[in-house]
Structure 1
Amino acid sequence: MRRADRLMALVQILRDGALHRAGDLAAAVDVSLRTIYRDMETLAASGVPIEGERGVGYHVTAAITLPPLNLTMTELEALHMGLMAVGGGNDAELATAANTLTQKLDAVMPEDRSRSPAPYSFAIYPFADAAKGFQHLPQIRQAIRARQKLLLSIGGHHKTVRPLQLDYWGRLWTCVVWCETTKGFDDLRVDQITDMRILPSLFVDEPEKSYTAYLSQRK
């Protein structure tokens, strides 16, 4: 398993908010304890709100906040996209300002982080390519609100899904879906979507295919 894939697998395990022992995490992804300790440090440095320590365990904390502001997912999306656009532009002065702004944001997001992270919107490893998915966020959000199905291309495969929930994991966005193709839930990395189309067909709420059902299934 590639390290980036392993880190994402660890995020999926930790997202239930429960305390997970390092030994259990190591067994789940088939690596050593030493590797788990390094992975936890990498995820925390990348912005994933993880708390814990060796010998005790690790868990994901509450949603990210910017004191005295509480950012909604949509506001965070707008901030993310704006900083990436300015930081990648041709105006050197604005690009520098975007970089310094990201460092200031990291200093307070979240408050209880014990280590300094890599710059917010310009992270290198492990999710340096996360910005590829930003272009899809507005359409996914629209489809969730309108209950419209999506036709996605991921890794050369096509699937029709019902988008249920967008989640943010320290510069990485994922989308919980009910997949019409596999007849099951999936949690997709938005940056791995190579093509997406909103379908005209709507879907109705079905308890067994809802986000609540997804959370119950994970428990």
Structure 2
Amino acid sequence: MIRSGTTVDQMVRAIGDRIVTGYLRPGEKLDETSLAARFDVSRTPVREALGQLSAMGLVERRPNRGAIVAVVTQEHLASIFESMAELEAICARFSAERMTSNERRRLEIEHQASARMVQLGAKEDYEYFNHEFHSRLYRGAHNTHIHDLTVMTRSRLAPFRRAQFMLPGRLAKSWQEHDLIVTAIMRGDSVAAGKAARDHVSIVSEASAVFAADDRKPIRRDVA
């Protein structure tokens, strides 16, 4: 049984990951009854999860016909990542200008600690760190509207941003890209921070394109 309060979020993550990694194919039906049985929940949270996945563009809900896995084109995915890159660049630039000394210190400490995760190949731990790292940048911008807009856009890309770490060598490259962002912020160099963040998301976009390919095959999460 999935813990109360996290049921919908966990279903969104699990189903979204299976769609992105190719285990659920475009056009495949998502039966509410079967999903409810699999997750040991009622159909109500299943509908909510499918609604969130629909908002993310991963599921297509058809009136009186149920839900199916949506077709995610590379062009559509690239357009969202392009927006994400600009939003993250703004956040990084503002963070370099506005982060408090304590916020900068925590960012650097957490970043350096994540190097150990890369050495160990701890993908799940690094996924969690990566989410927190970017959240620190959004909060560090000290602009509520930009923060909320960035978080909303990130939620649409969440399964793809997680899936990138299944690609060979991606953990180490991600850390190196983060290092450029952190170094610029610690120097108070807003221009360099913005560029590093934009480049980082652009690289993630390129890495994630494989998960929107029409001929992709299922990719196991234990791939190095």
Q: Name the TM-score, length of structure 1 as normaliser.
A: 0.40
| Structure of higher RCO (CA pairs closer than 8 Å, 6+ residues apart) | 2
Q: Name the TM-score, length of structure 2 as normaliser.
A: 0.39
Query: Whose strand proportion is higher, 1 or 2?
Result: 1
